[in-house]
Chains A and B, each alone.
Chain A
Amino acid sequence: MKRLSFSTLMLWGGLAFIYLPMLILVIYSFNASKLVTVWGGWSLEWYAGLFDNSQLMAAVGRSLQVAFFTALAAVTLGTLAAFVLTRLPRFRGRTLFGGLVTAPLVMPEVITGLSLLLLFVAMSQLIGWPERGLTTIWIAHTTFCSSYVAIVVSARLRELDLSIEEAAMDLGARPWKVFILITIPMIAPSLVAGGMMSFALSLDDLVLASFVSGPGSTTLPMEIFSAVRLGVKPEINAVASLILLAVSLVTFLIWYLSRRAEENRIQALRQAQEA
């Protein structure tokens, strides 16, 4: 019993450690004083100023665009990879394939960023494509996000009851039809989760984007970074708070959706038992 209370204490302490700095950041974003560390009363002026900053707003637009297309591509690629990992146990190069899927999760970003840039430079010398810009950022983000999607989706695929897919195949459905009509709907929640995760990861990335971006393709984290390097600024507090708000809303949405899905499942089970 004593050990249990120690771990609970650590849990609450850890959560406080994780959330207090973010809370302080949000509080200080409403600080009226231009001196970041002196409290000068509540104010919204830094938020109002953001929308007049056209450079920043353009960067937000570019980041959202890249994040959207990254989410689409990463979910597609990641789901295929997860399917291969969970449903096709034996083919040549499977170990290599597994390694290629999991290694991007831990590979330091400076290595991935530099190596991709060198590849892009060599490719554009050879075949004239791709030009450095949003496309190259999209490729870089898609590559590492699809690994995250593959992990999330393969966890779900492994839980699935294979007999449903087998029954459909026995009844004469083609594999791709089974996949689209049966497998996809069953793994839909994890596809949504993987997509949101990719969107967030792409929106957050600084290092990869810095390496592979070209002129005129500065993303939001790159803008923030160049400002932050010079010290703490009230405008940055406001931007950071807005990003924190967006992420918490998405997190809440995921929790709400998964709770409703769970409730529906329990209700369906109960009805099935009563019938």
Chain B
Amino acid sequence: MNIPSLNLGRRLVIGVPFIWLALFFLLPFAMVLKISFSSAEVAIPPYTELVRYVDQQLQVLVNFGNYLLLAEDGLYWSAYLGSLKIASISTLVCLLIGYPMAYAISKARKDLQTVLLLLIMMPTWTAILIRVYAWMGILSNNGLINNLLMGLGFISEPLQILNSDTAVYIGVVYAYLPFMVLPLYANLVKHDPTLLEAAADLGARPIESFWKITVPLSKGGIIAGCMLVFIPVVGEFVIPELLGGPETLMIGKVLWQEFFNNRDWPVAAALAVLMLLILIVPILLFNRNQAKELEGRL
């Protein structure tokens, strides 16, 4: 008597979030794939249908032109490479700054840990737009840094920092640093201190046990942190748009321009498909790592 209702409940509990995510997260990728094979058209919506029924004939029109365009035009290549370069270097810098920070928090007093953690988390709840905007005022030609340097007599002419790749690096590291610190902390705080004590008893110096015990044990946290930074930064739009200059080529910005400025939805879709192909390995890595952490295996 209880069994059918239990099954129905179980199906509902699984089904509702499953269907929502399948409908609004998985299915849209199929749409992107489909549109990437259509041609742009001046119409609403601005693309041609792949399958048409004209004169008693079923026509299937698959257009590979968008992908050919991406392959032939050097601009898109440079944009993909630019995104990958900026994302890799920023991820590394975030790791180098974020690891010591997370380590210090995990070693702090318990009540202080909560406060420090909130201080790290607070920026992630603030719009990236606003935090990037704050840097626009600081880096601009007559901004704080240039005024300070000129006032101190280090430079006679303002440095062009805003609208350059340097500004993009500063903005990306600034915006994504918390996403590196949080998973690293979550991992480091779970470590068993007796391991380090045992190592010390056996004569290991602190620096030795740090590299041989702490770092290998925090592998899960390092992977999670790096993926949380790297993957979204590859597609980042706001930071290169506001802080970058004309020479800053990133794929998120190019996709945005194709979609909003050129109204070329099929090319934008093809760009998205290629970006997904590049990111599929990191995303799978992240998902597997998350699944492990979710199940509590470390």
Contacts and interface: CB of A to CB of B under 8 A. Distances in A.
Nearest to B12: A80
Contact of A102 (B29, B31, B235, B291): B291
Interface stretch (A48-56, A184-192, A244-252, A267-275): A244-252
A31 to B, nearest CB: 10
Interface string B237-260: 110011000000000100110011
Given A108-B234, A110-B256, A111-B235, A118 B32 contact: yes
A98 B125 CA distance: 24
B21 A101 contact: yes
Contacts of B13: 80, 83-84, 88
A143 B20 contact: yes
A28 B137 contact: yes
A18 B100 contact: no
Contact of B28 (A7, A17, A22, A115): A115
A60 interface: no
B235 A108 contact: yes
A55 to B, nearest CB: 18
Interface residues on B, range: 35 or more
Q: For chain A, what secondary structure do more than half of its interface residues adopt (helix, strand, loop), or is it mixed?
A: helix
Interface of A: 1, 3-4, 6-8, 10-11, 14-15, 17-19, 21-22, 24-25, 28, 36-37, 77-78, 80-81, 83-86, 88, 91, 93, 95, 97-112, 114-116, 118-119, 121-122, 125, 139-140, 142-143, 146, 150-151, 154, 158, 174-176, 196-197, 200-201, 203-207, 210-211, 221, 224-225, 228-229, 231-232, 236-237, 240, 243-244, 247-248, 250-251, 254-255, 258-259
Top 6 closest pairs, chain A to chain B, by CB: A108-B235, A115-B28, A204-B127, A10-B100, A11-B104, A200-B125
7 contacts: A17-B97, A80-B16, A84-B13, A88-B13, A101-B21, A114-B268, A259-B114
